[in-house]
Amino acid sequence: MSSIKLAVLLVLGLLLATAQQSMQLSLRNPTAEIETSNCKIAILRLGLVFTSDNNEKALLDSGLYEPDSENPSVDIAGRRFHIGTLNNSHIIYVKAGRHSVNVAAAVQILLLRFRTSGIVFFGSSGSLDEKMLVPGDVAVPKAVAFTGVWEWKKFRSEKGRLVFGDFNYPENGENLLGTVEYEKINMFSPSEAPKEVFWLPITTSWYDAATEALKDLKLRQCYSGKCLPGKPKVVFESKGSTSDFYVRNKAYGDFLNKNFAAKTADTASASVALTSLSNEKLFVVFQGVSNVAGVTSSDSGVSYLASYNAMLAATKFINSIPTPRLACE
């Protein structure tokens, strides 16, 4: 065999081996190249999840996020995962998109493909109790539930939890939609048998840590040259409801508040909770209140302010959590 042919074969063999190693590395862990240099593999990053452009704008406008200088992002399954630091805390963040299925998929990918110590979610929500929560406030719920999952009962049944006729306008009365009853969801985890649950509890240790970290947090009161009538606050000990529709009907919001003591409504928190619990991961939720159910507002600045205040709460919490480390390999 000539020396030229031998050299070509050696080069081809080297290229194939490199390609195979790179493919295996990519399949095993898409951030392996990021983490192995300089022993970065020892860092367990926090996963930060939100749903909208407004949420991401609030994060980037704060000036607190710094992308990784070598590998700022990784694209997986149509989603971009950003690697960097948030006020010097190591995080990976993803904009999941709206509605529960997108949020659950993004959180599951994040947990499977990256080394994370837990999930922090922040986003916007509607208030179901104006006496407790008003626009600009931040709710830190102790539990969340899928309140948009209903089981239809027999037509005109007297049983059930929600009678549509009770919400006729302008007067209550008959309604051919009939009656429905809320349905529990199945929760799966690696170490336990599947079980039906309604309320999904926030991780106790992280909830307690948030209570301590946020007790002196100052939220933003003004936006676009306007100021809220009152000083926004962080509210604990609440419960949150999640569904794939926005709660704009005041009577339905009152129903959720009265029957389930739900104080906020959004389209994402319960998806974060269920996916995190199923993977036995720590998680916490911060909801910025952007509106009150049944109250119409055309002021988009309030929605941004809600996102910004929720981001401030999430950042303060993340900075209060020590960065877990593993032994270098």
Q: What is the mean pLDDT of the chain?
A: 82
144 assigned to some structural domain: yes
Give residue 301's pLDDT band: very low, low, confident or very high (50, 70, 90): confident
Q: Looking at the predicted structure, is the pLDDT value of residue 30 above 50?
A: no
Residue 265 domain-assigned?
Answer: yes
Using the predicted structure, report yes or no on whether residue 79 has a pLDDT greater than 80: yes
Tell me whether residue 9 is in a domain: no
Mean pLDDT to the nearest integer, 93-114: 94
Q: What is the pLDDT at residue 50?
A: 97
Return the closest-CA partner of residue 218 out of 233, 229, 208, 207: 233
Structural domain containing residue 93: 41-149+196-320
- Residue 276's closest CA among 184, 180, 206, 177? 206
* pLDDT at res. 197: 80
Task: Using pLDDT thresholds of 50, 70 and 90, give the confidence band for residue 191.
Answer: low
Q: Which has more confidence, 180 or 183?
A: 183
So what's the pLDDT on residue 35? 45
> Which one has a higher pLDDT value, 30 or 143?
143
Give the pLDDT of residue 165.
64
DSSP result, 195-224: EEES-EEPPHHHHHHHHHHTTTPPPP-EET
**Residue 243 maps to a domain:** yes
Give a yes or no: residue 34 inside a domain. no
Q: Token pair for residue 202?
A: 């926030």
* Mean pLDDT lowest among 124-133, 151-160, 235-244, 320-329: 151-160
**Which pLDDT belongs to residue 15?**
44
Give the model's confidence band at 28: pLDDT under 50 very low, under 70 low, under 90 confident, else very high.
very low
State the average pLDDT over residues 85-97: 96
Residue predicted with more confidence, 192 or 254: 254
CA distances from 250 to 33, 264, 328 (A): 51, 12, 55
Instruction: Check residue 237 and give its pLDDT.
Output: 93
pTM (2 d.p.): 0.78
Model confidence pLDDT, tens digit, residues 198-241:
899 999 999 999 999 999 999 999 988 889 999 999 999 999 99
Q: Which residues contact 274 (CB under 8 A, 6 or more apart)?
A: 104, 146, 185, 187, 200
* Residue 302 located in a structural domain: yes
For residue 283, the domain's CATH number is: 3.40.50.1580
pLDDT digits (tens, 9 = 90+) for 145-161: 998 876 655 555 454 45
For the segment 261-282, the average pLDDT, to the nearest whole number, is 95
Which residue type sits at 172? N
Q: pLDDT digit string (tens) for 8-19? A: 444 445 444 444
Q: How confident is the model at residue 193 (pLDDT cuts 50, 70, 90)?
A: low
Average pLDDT over residues 93-117: 94
Q: What is the pLDDT of residue 103?
A: 96
SS3 assignment, position 102: helix
Q: Is residue 120 part of a domain?
A: yes
Q: Look at residue 271 and tell me if it is in a domain.
A: yes
Q: What's the number of domains the chain is made of?
A: 1
